[in-house]
């Protein structure tokens, strides 16, 4: 039997932390290993506890969740899911730039939260197709998007650590099989694994393997970077 997924809860409201802890306590494969009331406490707890997943609030005293996420990712002290009551693009893009593996609203269904924790613990990015499409819209807009904490008005690909030369992109693309290239194209359109499986008449497990292979061959962290890469490489265009 696999060890439980170790989760750190970070929110400045004790009642919110208690609510999440209650939801997660009902799951046999998830264990809450600690709590923190602000970003600074979160970084310390993450380094000490080394949780698998950190549920991170955005607006907190002392250090906000975006800055804390950046420190946690830099220390390789856990995968972060950003939780907020605010469905705002500036939070979304700042969280992605900081290295978050997922983004959820606090009013998400408990089942969605639990499934999200499991997915992120397995190394997947937790972004719905709707959120992925917002990233696409931001990336393909005329003006360079500004992400909080990033200076100079750099483009989203640069902010996500995805800026590479055209020659390097071509070299990476050449490593993909025809099927992997098809999968990359569909990922870039914001399709989930289940939707890709239906489109290509493949099993969902097979699609999952292809996606993982794409990320490894292209040296990408998650599906968001795959979207950015595909558009930058011309694999898919905004009209699609």
Secondary structure letter of residue 85 according to DSSP: S
pLDDT at residue 94, as a whole number? 80
pLDDT at residue 105, as a whole number? 80
Residue ranges for the chain with pLDDT beneath 70: 86-87, 89, 127-164, 237-240
List residues bridging with 57 in a β-sheet: 83
Strand order in the sheet with 5-10: 30-36, 5-10, 53-57, 79-84, 102-105
202 vs 196: CA distance, rounded Å = 8
* Joined tokens for residue 205: 């497990």
pLDDT at residue 226, as a whole number? 81
pLDDT at residue 148, as a whole number? 36
Return the sign of the alpha-carbon dihedral for residues 182, 183, 187, 193.
positive
pLDDT at residue 131, as a whole number? 65
The answer as to CATH 3.40.50.2300 being correct for domain 157-233 is yes
pLDDT at residue 237, as a whole number? 61
Domain boundaries, the chain: 5-126, 157-233
Q: Which residues contact 16 (CB under 8 A, 6 or more apart)?
A: 57, 106
3-state secondary structure of 194: helix
Dihedral pair phi/psi, residue 80, rounded to 5°:
-110, 130
71 vs 47: CA distance, rounded Å = 10
User: Which single residue is written with the structure tokens 């005329």?
Assistant: 142
Q: Which residues contact 15 (CB under 8 A, 6 or more apart)?
A: none
Q: Fold identical between 5-126 and 157-233?
A: yes
Q: Which architecture, in CATH terms, is 5-126?
A: 3-Layer(aba) Sandwich (3.40)
* Joined tokens for residue 111: 């089942």
């Amino acid at each position: 039997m696999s060890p439980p997924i170790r989760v750190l809860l970070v929110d400045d409201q004790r009642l919110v932390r208690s609510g999440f802890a209650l939801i997660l306590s009902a799951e046999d494969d998830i264990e809450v290993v600690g709590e923190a009331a602000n970003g600074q406490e979160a970084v310390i707890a993450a380094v000490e506890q080394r949780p698998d997943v950190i549920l991170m609030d955005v607006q907190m005293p002392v250090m906000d969740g975006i800055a804390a996420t950046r420190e946690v990712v830099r220390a390789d002290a856990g995968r972060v899911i950003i939780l907020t009551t605010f469905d705002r693009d500036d939070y979304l893009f700042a969280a992605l730039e900081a290295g978050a593996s997922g983004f959820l609203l606090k009013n998400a269904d408990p089942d969605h939260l639990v499934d999200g924790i499991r997915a992120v613990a397995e190394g997947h990015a937790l972004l719905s197709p709707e959120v992925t499409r917002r990233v696409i819209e931001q990336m393909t807009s005329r003006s360079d998007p500004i992400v909080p904490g990033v200076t100079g008005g750099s483009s989203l690909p640069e902010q996500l650590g995805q800026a590479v030369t055209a020659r390097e992109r071509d070299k990476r693309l050449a490593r993909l099989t025809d099927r992997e290239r098809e999968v990359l194209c569909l990922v870039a359109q914001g399709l989930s694994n289940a939707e890709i499986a239906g489109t290509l008449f493949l099993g969902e497990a097979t699609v999952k393997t292809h996606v993982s292979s794409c990320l490894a061959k292209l040296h990408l962290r998650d599906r968001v970077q795959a979207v950015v890469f595909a558009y930058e490489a011309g694999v898919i265009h905004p009209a699609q």
